[in-house]
Amino acid sequence: MGRRLNSLSARLILAATIWTVLGLAIGGMALSNIFRSSVEENFDATLETDLDSLIAATDADASGDIHLEPGFEMARYERAYSGWYWQIVPADPKDAAGPRLSRSLFDKLLAATNENKLRGLFLGHAEGPDGQHLRTISRRVEFPVTLDKHKGETRAYTFLVAGDLAEVDRRVAGFNQVLFWSFFVLGLGLVIAVLIQVRVGLQPLRRVSESLSRIRDGKAQRLEGSFPAEIAPLASELNSLIEHSAEVVSRARTHVSNLAHFLKTPLTVLSSEAAAQPGPLADAVLRQVSTMRRQVDHYLARARAAGAVSALGNRTQVTTALTDLVRVLGRIHETRGIEIELDCPSSIFFRGERQDLEEMAGNLIDNACKWAKGSVRVTVRAEGSRFELIVADDGEGLTEDERRRVGERGERLDESVPGSGLGLAIVRDIAKLYGGTLSLARSAALGGLQATLTLPLIA
């Protein structure tokens, strides 16, 4: 989860999703409450209309006793326990006439609770005869008495109508279901829109990443294409950094080359002077000059390779470099009848400079030619993100101890063969700078030494 939150896309999408869900949830609850209030108000209005109709259909005689107009009925108040009820109850409990009830109530009498007065009406709740939760609206109505002995008096009655609130709950539940699925589809659409927006909005950053990959793989030298105003300064700075890096590497190579010439000239003079004056001192000078040349060649090669590794955009086709090397070395060892066989696919590219590849491969192939009896085989094959350069010869080969000595310490085993003795050490050092490896073994096919160089591959 932590790794995912390191993604800018994931953060934007997560934040947008959270705010979308919260906004829709709060909006949904607000709409649901507004709808419930509206339904309840409409329900109360219906009950109030029924109450007015009931009062209007009621008449009183001279004694103040009431009766309903003939033919008065409201269908939903006729079915037993229908959830719709009305009752007319005398204010005086001792009234002989007693309460009058709708058919839906049978002989049950409703007792309103939690009543609140509003515009002369009493609004409350009651428990219905079938356990329903009822909404009640009632009004106290007084009828005049016209009998001579009671003239001027009134008889009061409480008119009450009630309706089952389950009807309100059903309407609200239906609305909530429609509201939920509507908001669900809306939220899903918003999340998809955010995904598209983030993908499109961050596309320039992906293009920068792809351009940097192309530069690292040697397929480009700088960030190419146009970028939005927010990304353009970043692209410009990266291009400037790449150009500065290339310039620094170029200057370093120039200094290395100058240093090589500066050191080699005095060493050549010392060697010539010592050779012209034979003796123990001259022999010692020649040995030390030879050692200094070997060390200079070794460390200059490492310094030049280190500078090449730090530069971006290096890319070398292995086939081209090896073909030229095989042609040159074949001519050099032609008098000994050495045949060099090359097997290298053209699709393999080295993630580095050609000069470094030639330095490593040239040392290995030249070393194989020096010790071969007549055949050297150079094979290149891809292995995932790397490739292997295998150089084998049909010479005497080396024992395990000898392979360790020449590979790790650059020790010369035979002074009769020309060379500095540091070829394998230089190969190992340059390969290490590129994250590669060098291993020595006995060749199963040719019987001699087999050197396997592993280097990074550009797909």
Task: Please name the helix (run of DSSP H) or strand (run of DSSP E) that holds residue 100, with its range, or none.
Answer: strand 100-101
Left (φ > 0), alpha (ψ -120 to 50) or beta: where does 215 sit? alpha
Q: Quick one: which of 389, 381, 387, 388 has its CA closest to 458?
A: 387
| Per-residue pLDDT reduced to its tens digit, 26-47 | 999 999 999 999 999 999 999 9
- Output the pLDDT for position 300: 65
Tokens for 419? 């060379």
> Which band of pLDDT confidence, cut at 50, 70 and 90, is reported for residue 412?
very low
> Which band of pLDDT confidence, cut at 50, 70 and 90, is reported for residue 4?
low
Tokens for 252? 């370093």
> Which band of pLDDT confidence, cut at 50, 70 and 90, is reported for residue 419?
very low
Calculate the CA dihedral of residues 216, 222, 226, 228 and round it to 10 degrees: 70
Domain-wise residue ranges, the chain: 57-164, 213-241, 244-309, 316-458
| Per-residue pLDDT reduced to its tens digit, 86-115 | 999 988 777 766 788 888 888 888 888 988
Tell me which of 3.40.50.460, 3.30.450.40, 3.30.565.10, 3.40.50.300 is the CATH number of domain 316-458. Answer: 3.30.565.10
